[in-house]
Amino acid sequence: MALLAAATLTACDQEPPPAWSGYAEGDPVYVAAPIAGQLLELQVQRGDTVAAGAPLFSIDIIPTRAARAEADARLAAARAEQADAAKGRRPDEIAMSRAQLAQARAQSALADSDLARQQQLIGQGFISAARLDDARATAAQARQRVRELESSLRVAELPARSDQQAAARANAEAASAALEQQQWRESQTRQRAPAAGLVDDTFYRVGEYVNAGQPVVSLLPPSQRKARFYVPEPELASLRQGQAVQLSCDGCGAPIAARVSYISPQPEYTPPVIYSNSQRARLVFLVEARPDPAQAARLHPGQPLEVRPVASGAPDKAEATSPSTSAASGAGLRQ
């Protein structure tokens, strides 16, 4: 009994950990569409609780559908040009070139025969040398015409040049990328919740025009709720990044576990909304702490808080109230 009384007196002499005043705050997630248009649907209202992936709003899709149809047509045209560049001329065009070649060969053969006759006649003195020169020129022209049409036929059977084929492929790839962009823009006309949370506010009504990138809905997920409090300069040394603290508020019930996530590197004067007029001259440091995600929903932005540090090595609240701990305490009292 004497030991128990001494321990009780010692516990009474220990000073409670310092308490800092602060408030709850939230960092909303602003959901916007990257395209402009008329607000067609708004599936949520302020104060609703939504799950991750839940539909929030949609923008008029008609302009994006028209742009997608145009991109589809351009891609089809580019692919057709690419396929055409890989082929030769049409069969009828090749057949026409072959017929012209056959005609030129026949004319060349006729010119060669005429040249042979003229050479015999000039040896007999029946024609002049000028007549023989004309026959030679005609035969040479016929042979050149044959070579020309043979080359033309080979070209007609070949595909387009490699540079032209590369250009056609590049045009097709560009059209495909443009189509993907339009498909993405069409998908962005319907926005969903990036995370579960509370609908903090809505900024437009159905039928209003929304500019690209302009927020339509703001969400407040539990992970974006935090406590902001101010620590006097003499007590700053007792805090460190990641340290456990407890948040208390009116009507919150059991303290909320949190961890220090930010300590300001610069001091500032005590905000009068937190402290009394007699303490305005004190220098303090802004500190932020984020609660456990499971308990963050108990905090409401603007709510006054009282923050206390958790001593290192101190048992958690759950451990302190566990059955085994209670039973051991009771046994010690009975002894």
Domain residue ranges of the chain, discontinuous segments joined by +:
28-61+193-220, 68-85+164-186, 89-158, 222-309
Class of domain 89-158: mainly alpha
- What was the pLDDT predicted at 329? 38
Fold adopted by 28-61+193-220:
OB fold (Dihydrolipoamide Acetyltransferase, E2P) (2.40.50)
Q: Please list, residue by residue across 242-269, b when 16 or more beta carbons sit within 10 angstroms of its beta carbon and e when fewer do.
A: ebebbbebeebeebbbbebeebeeebee
Q: What is the C-alpha separation between 224 and 161, in angstroms, rounded?
A: 60
Q: What is the pLDDT along the chain (335 residues), one digit of tens a residue?
A: 555 545 454 444 555 567 898 999 999 999 999 989 899 999 999 999 999 999 999 998 777 777 777 888 888 888 887 777 776 677 777 788 888 888 888 888 888 888 888 888 777 777 777 877 888 888 888 888 888 888 887 777 767 667 777 888 888 888 888 888 888 888 888 999 999 999 999 999 999 999 999 999 999 999 999 999 999 888 888 899 999 999 998 888 899 999 999 999 988 876 655 545 455 447 889 999 999 888 888 888 999 999 999 876 554 443 343 333 333 334 343 33
Q: What is the C-alpha separation between 36 and 33, in angstroms, rounded?
A: 7
Contact predicate 291/257, CB 8 Å? yes
**Start-end of H helices in the chain:** 2-13, 62-85, 91-124, 129-157, 162-187, 317-320, 323-334
- What was the pLDDT predicted at 260? 95
Q: What is the C-alpha separation between 325 and 204, in angstroms, rounded?
A: 55
- What was the pLDDT predicted at 298? 87
Q: What is the C-alpha separation between 189 and 187, in angstroms, rounded?
A: 5
**pTM exceeds cut of 0.75:** no
Residues 6+ apart with CB under 8 A from 99: none
- What was the pLDDT predicted at 155? 73
Fold adopted by 222-309:
Elongation Factor Tu (Ef-tu); domain 3 (2.40.30)
Amino acid in position 265: P
- What was the pLDDT predicted at 292? 86
- What was the pLDDT predicted at 14? 53
